[in-house]
Structure 1
Amino acid sequence: MTRSLLSAFALSVATLAAAPAFAADDLCAANLQKIDDTMVTVAPSNPALEKTMRQQIDAAKADQAKGDTKACIASTGKILTQLDNFTKKGGAAGN
């Protein structure tokens, strides 16, 4: 009985320790998906912005591919802020 409880406890600790890494990967991927979704509407209305954003997006995707989740999250956060500022100013199609 004690052995199974210790095994269950060890498994729980291991799962909880790994959770932040999975969450960070998910945030990186989620941010990239939000960016891609936003670019579908923003890019046609502003090719210059699309070119500037594309360089940053490619860099963030390269960070993700290297496994540098912190850099990916930092980059995508900046990109999302820039896109949000652009769309709030009425730069996106339909605004």
Structure 2
Amino acid sequence: MKRSALAGLFITAAMLASPVFAAGEPDLCKINLDKINNGQALLATDTSGKKGEIDTAVSQAKAAHAAGDDKKCIEITSKALQDLQNTEKGGNQ
């Protein structure tokens, strides 16, 4: 009896937590866009062409977000953040 009650509690907790993660995705998209906007100041003197790539990524991410495709927005912004970090480190990948 104790095992089934414990299993039931675990399943209930897992089911209740699932919507929380789904609801957090749009926030991650917005957070990533804010981080990119803050990091673009570093690209003011960039001559490698990364600024244009980042600008394009931001436009695509905003379009995906507006279309309700937050997964795509997060994917695009995550890559753009990685590119920004590589630029900060001096890498041109």
TM-score (norm 2): 0.72
Distance 1:70 1:90, change over 3 A: closer
**Partner residue, 1:66:** 67
> C-alpha separation between the residues in 2 aligned to 1:87 and 1:74?
20
Contact 2:42 2:88 (8 Å CA) reproduced: no
The answer for unaligned runs of 5 or more in structure 2 is 1-12
**Partner residue, 1:5:** none
1:46 aligns with 2:58: no
> How many residues of Structure 1 are paired with residues of Structure 2 in the alignment?
79
1:18 aligns with 2:19: yes
Q: Secondary structure at the match of 1:45?
A: coil
Identity %: 30
> C-alpha separation between the residues in 2 aligned to 1:68 and 1:51?
23
TM-score (norm 1): 0.71
**Partner residue, 2:88:** 87
Q: CA deviation at 1:67?
A: 0.8
